[in-house]
Amino acid sequence: MAVGLGGYAQQIKDGQMVDTASSVVSQEKNTKGNSKLDQMDFINLLVAEMQNQDPLEPSKNTDYVAQMATFSQVQSLDDMKTSMAGMSADNLVGKYVTLNVTDSKGNVSEITGKVDYVTHENGKNFISVEDNLYNVDDLVSVMDETYSDANVMAATFDNLAGQLPNAFGLGEGDAVNVAKLRFLYDSMDAYTKQFLSKSSVEKLESLEEVCIKYGWGDYAAGGTYGPKPVETAETPEAATDTTTAEEAALV
């Protein structure tokens, strides 16, 4: 049984209204496993509407054309957005990125690395980092190589400094690692040093004071990082008397 409702014939079954149009779309969506309406879904809606319209008050053809035109415009914008997102992802190749990835248990882990390539699957963009594919939607930040290298070196320095004991617990055997930390620091340029932890640099300096005080390893007098020997002024040699015996007799 059908009841006319403003140009649309509502189906009645077993005393209850049946939403025919929604049923058509729901079946289509269940078949595709996709919650997003596409052009075929929209056509199914139009067909269902035409099949169930009230014969006494049919919809005009212009109404269907207007609806189709509107949907086409929306779909075009969506396709353009997808295309631009793909182009944007392609530009990430060779860049260093950071991603926050959530696993099946809801745990979030931070992934940092260089993007090797980009792949597009089912309208989604994936980037390859360290031989693993990640959804570009998990992207947090993008870095250039110089910035990334500086961060890695600074993090290495801070980590090594954290592994060393404080000045009160320092022993002679630790002098080797203190010297390595100094070498790492001296190899950095001014840009990289900006990323260092102030406390790590101060710790290095305090440890070096202990090493120098006790003359451990390379911090011994004359060592690579130890105090340099004090250069004493050379005593001028006495002038050589070149006066001959004959010249002396004439004086």
- Residue-wise pLDDT for 119-166, tens only, equals 888 878 888 888 899 988 888 888 888 888 898 899 999 999 999 999
Identify the CATH number of the domain in which residue 107 sits. 2.30.30
Q: What pLDDT score does 2 carry? A: 47
Q: What pLDDT score does 66 carry? A: 67
Secondary structure (3-state) at 117: strand
What is the tens place of the pLDDT at every residue in 83-122? 554 456 778 888 888 889 888 888 888 888 888 888 888 8
243 in any annotated domain: no
Count of structural domains within the chain: 3
Q: Which residues pair with 184 in a beta bridge?
A: none
Shared domain for 131 and 175, answered yes or no, is: no
Per the structure, the complete domain to which residue 116 belongs is given by 92-143
How many other C-beta atoms are found inside a 10 Å radius of the C-beta of residue 44? 17
Q: Measured in Å, how far apart are the chain's first and last C-alpha atoms?
A: 153
Rounded to two decimals, the pTM is: 0.49
Shared domain for 73 and 105, answered yes or no, is: no
Residues 6+ apart with CB under 8 A from 58: 7
Shared domain for 168 and 215, answered yes or no, is: yes
Report residue 168 as tokens: 């009160």
Which among 65, 58, 19 is positioned nearest to 42, based on CA atoms?
65
Shared domain for 77 and 104, answered yes or no, is: no
* Residue 204 or 139, more confident: 204
What is the tens place of the pLDDT at every residue in 36-78? 556 667 677 767 776 776 666 666 656 656 666 666 666 555 5
